[in-house]
Amino acid sequence: MSTPPDAEKQRILNRLRRLEGQVRGLHKMVDEGRNCQDILTLLTGVKSALNATGDAIFEEYIARCQQAEQPIPSSEIIKVVRLLR
């Protein structure tokens, strides 16, 4: 059973909102001159969350391509895959 498009969209938007908060926190830590190890720890988490969000967006894109009346050419999908590398 697949997830309804609106539910998946909401999940992606929630991930992006969390990322925004993490980036704001990172900005604040740098601005305050916080410990480098703490900054790098948060930065690692932000990078991981961003990659996971990108993967979720990509999966949704592929799912929609498969359901489209006019399938998206494989060359377009390959372009997207290359962007994610």
pLDDT tens track, the chain, 85 positions: 456 678 888 999 999 999 999 999 999 999 999 999 999 999 999 999 999 998 888 888 777 777 767 777 778 777 877 877 6
User: The domain at 5-84 falls in which architecture?
Assistant: Up-down Bundle (1.20)
| Per-domain residue ranges of the chain | 5-84
4, exposed or middle or buried, with CB in 10 Å at 0-12, 13-18, 19+?
A: exposed
Give the chain's length: 85
* CA neighbor of 48 nearest in space, from 15, 79, 78: 15
- What stretch of H or E contains 4? none
What pLDDT score was predicted for residue 27? 97
